Homo-oligomer: A and B are copies of this chain.
Amino acid sequence: MANQDLLVYRDKIDAIDEQILALLSSRAACAKAIGHIKQNQTVAMPFYRPEREKAVLERLMDMNPGPLPDKEIRRLFREVMSACLALEMPMDIAYLGPEGTYTQAAVLKQFGHSVNTVPLRTIPDVFKAVQSENAHFGIVPSENSTEGVVTHTLDMLLQSDLRICGEILLRIQHNLLSNAESLSAVKAVYAHEQALAQCRNWLNRYIPHADLRPVSSNGKAAEIAATEANAAAIAGQMASDFYGLSILAAGIEDETNNTTRFLVIGNQQLTPTGDDKTSLVVSANNHPGLLHQLLEPIARYKVNMTRLESRPARQAIWEYVFFIDLEGHEHDEKTASLLAEIKRTASFFKVLGSYPVGTVF
Within 8 A of B (CB), among A8-27: 9-10, 12-14, 16-27
Q: What are the residues of chain B within 8 A of A16 when measuring CB–CB? A: 23, 26-27, 30
Q: What are the residues of chain B within 8 A of A30 when measuring CB–CB? A: 9, 12-13, 16
Most chain B CB within 10 A, of A18, A66, A68, A86, is at A68
Rounded to whole angstroms, the CA-CA distance of A5 and B41 in the bound complex is 12
Does A116 belong to the interface (CB within 8 Å)? yes
Q: What are the residues of chain B within 8 A of A19 when measuring CB–CB? A: 19, 23
Copies in the complex: 2
B2 touches A64 (CB 8 A): no
- Chain A residues with a Cβ closer than 8 Å to the other chain, count: 76
Instruction: Name the one of B60, B84, B239, B241 contacting A21, with C-beta atoms under 8 angstroms.
Output: B60
A68 touches B28 (CB 8 A): yes
A40 touches B87 (CB 8 A): no
A134 touches B241 (CB 8 A): yes
Q: Which of A73-81, A207-215, A257-265, A304-312 contacts B (4 or more CB under 8 A)?
A: A73-81
Within 8 A of B (CB), among A185-227: 219, 223
A residues neighboring B (CB under 8 Å)? 2, 5-6, 9-10, 12-14, 16-34, 37-38, 40-41, 52, 56, 59-60, 63-68, 72-73, 75-77, 79-80, 83-84, 86-87, 92, 94, 97-100, 104, 113-114, 116, 118-121, 125, 129, 134-135, 219, 223, 238-239, 241-242
B80 touches A76 (CB 8 A): yes
B92 touches A238 (CB 8 A): yes
A98 touches B100 (CB 8 A): yes
Can you list 18 residue pairs at the A/B interface with Cβ under 8 Å? Answer: A2-B41, A9-B34, A14-B59, A17-B27, A17-B59, A21-B63, A22-B65, A24-B73, A25-B66, A29-B67, A68-B87, A75-B113, A75-B114, A116-B238, A121-B223, A125-B242, A129-B242, A135-B242
Rounded to whole angstroms, the CA-CA distance of A241 and B23 in the bound complex is 36
Q: What are the residues of chain B within 8 A of A76 when measuring CB–CB? A: 24, 76, 79-80, 83
Given contacts A5-B33, A75-B114, A76-B80, 6 further A-B contacts (CB under 8 A): A2-B38, A6-B37, A16-B23, A17-B80, A20-B20, A29-B67
Instruction: Name the one of B86, B92, B116 contacting A72, with C-beta atoms under 8 angstroms.
Output: B86
Rounded to whole angstroms, the CA-CA distance of A97 and B119 in the bound complex is 18
